[in-house]
Amino acid sequence: MIGPVAYRLKLSQELSRVHNVFHVCNLKKCLSDDTLVIPLEEIQLDDKLNFVEEPVEIMDREVKQLKQSRIPIIKVRWNARRGPEYTWEREDQFKSKYPHLFENPPAPTTS
C-alpha cells in the first residue's frame, strides 16, 4: 500500500510493461478458476496493451437488405482466447483490412 487509495503490486517479469500502481477502485476480489487460465506466451498485446485478436476464417456470407440498398456481410471466426467467437462484419470494410482472408474464395455449392 502506498497510500489510502493506491496499492503497488509486485508483478512478474512477463508483466513488466504493465504499470504496477493501482487505485483501489480498479482492484476486485478474484476467485481463481484454473479452467480459464491463459498462458502469457499465448496472449498478444499491442503497444497500448490491448488484446490483439485476429480473424481466422470467414464462416458464412449474407446480404443485408435495407430500404434502398443491399450490404454484403460476412460471419467471421476470431482467435479469441476465451473460446470461439464470431461476429458479423461488412464485407467491403473487412476485405480492405484483412485481404488475405479473401484470397481463396469458397467453392460454389451445388444442389
Domain segments of the chain: what residues? 39-111
Q: What is the mean pLDDT of the chain?
A: 82
- For residue 23, the cross-strand partners are 6
Taking the C-alpha atoms of residue 76 and residue 89, their distance in angstroms, rounded to an integer, is: 7
- For residue 57, the cross-strand partners are 77
Q: Give percent of the chain above pLDDT 90.
A: 25
Number of neighbouring beta carbons within 10 Å of residue 74 = 21
Taking the C-alpha atoms of residue 79 and residue 59, their distance in angstroms, rounded to an integer, is: 13
pLDDT class for 107, splitting at 50, 70, 90?
Answer: low
